[in-house]
Amino acid sequence: MPVRRGNSAPQNTFLDTLIRKFDGQNRKFCIANARLERRPVIFCNDEFCDLVGYSRADIMQRSACMEFLHGPLTSVASIAELRDALHSRDEKQVRITFYKKDGTRFVSNTMIAPVRNEAAEVMFYILTFQQEGLSSLFAAMTRGDRRASRKSTGSSESHGNRSWTIHS
C-alpha cells in the first residue's frame, strides 16, 4: 500500500516505518503531527476510514481532536481529555462517544500515544480506536460461546495476541 500523507507530514523513513508497523497489526489508527498546534491528521489507515465512514481525503489535515466525529452525546469532559492528551507527553486512554458519517453513534476506547525523536521531543501522536462492545464478543468466544460470532458482520478483529475472524 503506498503511503499517502497530507501537506504537513514530515517526509522521513521513520514515519513510513511507523505506518507499516501499525498497519500490519489490524488496528484502526491515525497519526497526527505534534509539531503543529492543531495536531492535524497526517495519516489514517483504511480500517479507521471504514470504522467512521469517511474517506481518507475527508479526514486528512483535520484536527486529531476529531471534531467531525463529535455529536450530541459526545461529552465535553471526554473532548477535553482528548485535547489534553494531544498536548501531553504521556500515553492516555480516553473513552469517548463518536458519530460516524451516517450518524451512527459508537463508543470508542481511544489510546493516544506520543512518539518521540532521539532528542525526546514529541513529533507525532498515534491514536488507536477500539469500538466498545467488541471486547465482550472476544470474551464470549474465549469462553467457547460461538453464538457470539455475530455471523452477520463478516469482519475480523484482533485482540491481544489472538486474531478472531467473524464469519459471514
pLDDT digits (tens, 9 = 90+) for 133-153: 754 444 444 444 433 333 333
In the predicted model, what is the mean pLDDT of residues 63-67? Answer: 97
Can you give the pLDDT at residue 22?
A: 75
For the segment 100-109, the average pLDDT, to the nearest whole number, is 96
The DSSP call for residue 98 is E
pLDDT for res 12? 65
Structure-model confidence comparison of residues 145 and 70, the more confident one: 70
Question: What is the structure's pLDDT at 14?
Answer: 72
Residue 134 pLDDT: 56
pLDDT score at 137: 44
Alpha helices of 86-124 — where are they, by DSSP H? none
Q: What is the DSSP string of 37-49?
A: TT-BEEEE-HHHH
At 60, the amino acid letter reads M
**pLDDT tens-digit profile of 79-95?**
999 999 999 999 999 99
Q: Where are the domains of the chain?
A: 13-132, 134-168
pLDDT of 29 over the 60 cut: yes
CATH code for the domain defined by 13-132:
3.30.450.20
The pLDDT, as a whole number, for residue 148 is: 39
108-116: list long-range contacts, CB under 8 Å, 24+ apart: 108/132, 110/82, 112/82, 112/85, 112/86, 112/88, 114/34, 114/88, 114/89, 114/90, 115/18, 115/34
Q: Which three cell numbers stand for residue 143?
A: 469462553
Long-range contacts of 39-42 (CB under 8 A, 24+ apart): 39/63, 39/64, 39/65, 39/86, 39/87, 39/125, 40/6, 40/8, 40/64, 41/6, 42/5, 42/6, 42/8, 42/9, 42/15, 42/124
- The predicted pLDDT at position 146 comes to 39
